[in-house]
Amino acid sequence: MESPTPVRILTVCTGNICRSPVAERLLQAGLDQVLPGAFQVRSAGTRAMVGDPIQPLSADIIRMYGGTERGFAARQLTPKILGETDIVLTMTSRHRGEVLQLDASLLKRTFTIREFARMLEALEERDNAADPAEK
């Protein structure tokens, strides 16, 4: 039986050397603990420092929370990358706007990271309230 295609998540910031790589690596590490192989998380920058490694402080944060910065190189956000993405998580609303300028078809699948966190919290609250007998 063929394994399902992983959900492809893209995190986006400006330079792709600080915020989006931290989000990429920590989100991937966390999701792998829950559903190994079910998600593929990558990152890109709207004005990337192409080829640069993750900034040292960001690398420290990634390691502190169980991720790894190994193999990372910053990359520029492109329509091709967006075309290979199921969900886009941006660091700011400005980044969200830049993503949508490149590919407006992603409107319903592009969120700031805060918007996405709020949606997950709302779903969790709804699930907890749905069946109090299961608690």
Which residue's structure tokens are 């931290």?
22
Catalytic residue, chosen from 18, 19, 25, 103, is: 19
**Is 13 a known active-site residue?**
yes
Single-letter amino acid, residue 65: Y
Name the catalytic one among 60, 70, 118, 127: 127
State the Cα–Cα distance between residues 40 and 81, nearest whole angstrom.
13
In the residue annotation, 8 being an active-site residue is answered as no
C-beta separation of 9 from 27 below 8 A: yes
Backbone angles phi, psi at 45, to 5 degrees: -125, 145
User: Is 86 noted as a catalytic residue in this protein?
Assistant: no
* Selected catalytic residue, list 13, 18, 96, 103: 13
Q: Which two tokens stand for residue 128?
A: 């907890």
Catalytic residues: 13, 19, 127
